[in-house]
Amino acid sequence: MRILLAEDDAVAGETLTAILTAQGHEVTAVDNGVDAWGLWLVAHHRVVVSDWLMPAMDGIELCRKIRSRPPGPYTYFMMQTIRTGLGNFLEAMQAGVDDFITKPIVPEELLARLNVAERILGLREELMTLEGLLAMCSYCKRIRDTDGAWTPLERYVEQRSAARFSHGVCEDCYEKYLKAQVDG
């Protein structure tokens, strides 16, 4: 996986980078939230592992900024910190953090949590693919809506977008269905 690591402690950052790259992950490491935000805007890393306490922008603010962006591919956000306790855990979760790991980081625990992140991201991709499938009648071209009703294609699209339809007849259908009536 491509992982964005935001860690202001140089030793911890190098250690985590070594652990993650040894497991085959591609790691981009920065030492503050501002740089992490800038890189995320450009590359949209699917996984962010961020320290909570950092200069310029902390991990909570970074997570909130990522979550405030328009929907797109999901970013799994793991917060690492020395902070403990229910209040800190709840604050992180309310900011949109997916996982919370306390320092010092145990490499096996980090890797296990990243395996969970990979499964969750895979499931989200599968869900997005399934949501993109539409059941369409082979004969009348109506689409089965989320409530199971068969809706004309035009109405289905108009309800979900700004598109509006005008109707015409293509050359093939003119020849097949209308020409005899018009020439009649």
> Would you say residue 147 has pLDDT above 70?
no
> Helix, strand or coil for residue 184?
coil
Give, for 101, the enclosing helix (H) or strand (E). strand 99-102
Does residue 95 or residue 146 have the better pLDDT?
Answer: 95
Nearest-angstrom CA–CA distance, 87 and 132: 39
Q: Domains in the chain, please, with CATH?
A: 2-131 (3.40.50.2300), 143-183 (no CATH)
Least confident of 1-15, 57-71, 138-152: 138-152
| Radius of gyration (C-alpha) of the chain in whole angstroms | 25
> Would you say residue 148 has pLDDT above 80?
no
Provide the mean pLDDT of the chain. 89
Contact criterion met (CB below 8 Å) for 77 and 69: no
- Entry pTM: 0.71
Does residue 159 or residue 30 have the better pLDDT?
Answer: 30
